[in-house]
């Protein structure tokens, strides 16, 4: 186990009607001019927007709106938000939505304290040094962005999708009311379930040996996602299923599972390249790439981890042939994703064969990706071809 620092400053207010803490919490963090970031008009139609703005009014806070934030949120939205922050001297950013809205809000928070173009943060040249305080009202279980410092933004001008990660962008607090996720459609619930599981896989798989605690925690989250995702799809207003799925999404990517080891993260690198090119739903892309990645990287040196996954999560029977059992686990995973309604192949989602090289080049432009096994351009291309 490598050294690590565990710092979890985000307070989570979890459960029914936790929106009631909103006013006090923004006040605690000295907010008075609030930028409400959101995606579609759904939050205006279902009453959540009014609930929030009534609270802000009650606390004598003014508010502004950054709307139409899309899945795979665009740098153009970030730029709009930054301009608004600077013009109106906004001092608090409130994301109301899923991971895309939260990520966009974080990028706005950083950009508002920076004189250049916010895309600079994503090209590696400029570090975030300061940011406005961010909080979230979560409406989707998926990215874990509500308790971490990550933001992923797409730039259509250069057809790229990139991430920043900094403790400065960890939300001050997040309001996680499972009821807000009741209306998430089946496809998005499925994609969120895949996203949660993928975050766990990225941390479960790495080159270190002799892991115990971390592996068991990862398996606990995987089992939960597999238990609750299908239940939430079948019965969208099942509070317990929605609650477990929502809290699992937070725990899957809040630094708790990643301690002490360098995760793999190559599936995310590949999928970000896929959805940069195609605007595919992130979880759907992960559902396609993950089994293909697993089948490509598994070998005699790392069978143990895939074997543990097969036995402990997929209920494959212990056997003498560990590779065979491990492969059965991967097959079970692919079948689980398909049963959720996720695509199995890139071809199904409109990717063309002649795009694969571009995607591979974006995923592994020069340095290799991955820690379980380092993947170069050629490796990524083979994975994409297998996933086609």
- Interaction site with a copy of itself (CB under 8 A): 1-9, 11-18, 210, 212-213, 216-217, 219-221, 223-224, 227-228, 239-240, 243-244, 247-248, 251, 256, 259-260
| Beta carbon of residue 318, minimum distance to a copy of itself (angstroms, whole number) | 11
Please identify, using beta-carbon distances, which residue of 156 and 213 lies nearer to a copy of itself. 213
Most distant CA pair in the chain, distance? 68
| Beta carbon of residue 253, minimum distance to a copy of itself (angstroms, whole number) | 15
| Beta carbon of residue 66, minimum distance to a copy of itself (angstroms, whole number) | 27
| Beta carbon of residue 59, minimum distance to a copy of itself (angstroms, whole number) | 20
Is residue 140 within 8 A of residue 160, CB to CB? The reply is no
Eight-class DSSP state of 125: S
Please identify, using beta-carbon distances, which residue of 78 and 226 lies nearer to a copy of itself. 226
10 Å CB burial of residue 17 (0-12, 13-18, 19+) is exposed
Please identify, using beta-carbon distances, which residue of 161 and 199 lies nearer to a copy of itself. 199
| Beta carbon of residue 12, minimum distance to a copy of itself (angstroms, whole number) | 4
| Beta carbon of residue 250, minimum distance to a copy of itself (angstroms, whole number) | 8
Token readout for 34 is 């609030």
Which candidate, 60, 115, 52, places its Cα nearest to that of 83?
Answer: 115
Please identify, using beta-carbon distances, which residue of 9 and 185 lies nearer to a copy of itself. 9
Please identify, using beta-carbon distances, which residue of 64 and 239 lies nearer to a copy of itself. 239
Token readout for 165 is 């990660």
Which candidate, 252, 163, 247, places its Cα nearest to that of 201?
Answer: 252
Is residue 36 within 8 A of residue 69, CB to CB? The reply is no
Alpha-carbon separation of residue 174 from 76, 137, 248, 346 (angstroms): 25, 6, 14, 34
Is residue 31 within 8 A of residue 61, CB to CB? The reply is yes
**What's the rounded Cα separation, in Å, for the pair 199 and 311?**
20
């Amino acid at each position: 186990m490598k050294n690590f620092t565990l710092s979890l400053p985000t307070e989570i207010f979890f459960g029914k009607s936790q929106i009631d803490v909103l006013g006090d919490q923004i006040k605690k963090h000295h907010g008075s001019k609030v930028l409400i970031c959101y995606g579609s008009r759904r939050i205006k139609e279902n009453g959540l927007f009014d609930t929030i703005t009534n609270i802000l009014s009650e606390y004598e806070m003014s508010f502004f709106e950054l709307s139409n934030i899309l899945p795979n949120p665009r740098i153009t939205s970030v730029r709009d938000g930054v301009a608004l922050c600077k013009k109106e001297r906004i001092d608090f950013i409130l994301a109301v939505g899923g991971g895309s809205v939260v990520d966009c809000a974080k990028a706005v928070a950083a950009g508002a304290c920076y004189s250049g173009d916010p895309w600079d943060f994503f090209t590696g040249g400029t570090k975030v040094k300061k940011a406005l305080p961010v909080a979230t009202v979560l409406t989707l279980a998926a990215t874990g962005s509500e308790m971490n410092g990550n933001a992923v933004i797409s730039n259509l001008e250069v057809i790229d999708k990139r991430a920043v990660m900094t403790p400065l962008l960890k939300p001050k607090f997040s309001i996680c009311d499972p009821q807000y996720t009741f209306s998430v459609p089946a496809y998005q619930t499925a994609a969120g379930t895949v996203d949660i599981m993928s975050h766990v896989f990225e941390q479960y798989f790495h080159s270190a040996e002799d892991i115990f605690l971390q592996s068991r925690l990862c398996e606990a989250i995987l089992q939960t996602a597999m238990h609750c995702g299908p239940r939430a799809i079948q019965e969208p207003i099942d509070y317990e299923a929605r609650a477990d799925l929502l809290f699992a999404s937070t725990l899957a990517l809040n630094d708790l599972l990643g301690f002490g080891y360098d995760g793999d993260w190559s599936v995310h690198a590949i999928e970000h390249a896929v959805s940069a090119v195609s605007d595919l739903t992130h979880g759907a892309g992960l559902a396609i790439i993950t089994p293909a990645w697993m089948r490509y990287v598994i070998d005699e040196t790392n069978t143990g981890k895939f074997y543990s996954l097969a036995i402990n999560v997929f209920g494959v029977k212990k056997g003498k042939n560990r590779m065979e059992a491990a492969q059965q686990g991967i097959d079970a995973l692919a079948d689980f994703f398909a049963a959720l309604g996720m695509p199995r192949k890139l071809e199904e989602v409109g990717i063309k064969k002649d795009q694969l090289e571009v995607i591979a080049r974006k995923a592994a432009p020069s340095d290799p990706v991955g820690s379980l096994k380092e993947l170069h351009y050629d490796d990524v291309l083979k994975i994409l071809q297998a996933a086609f």
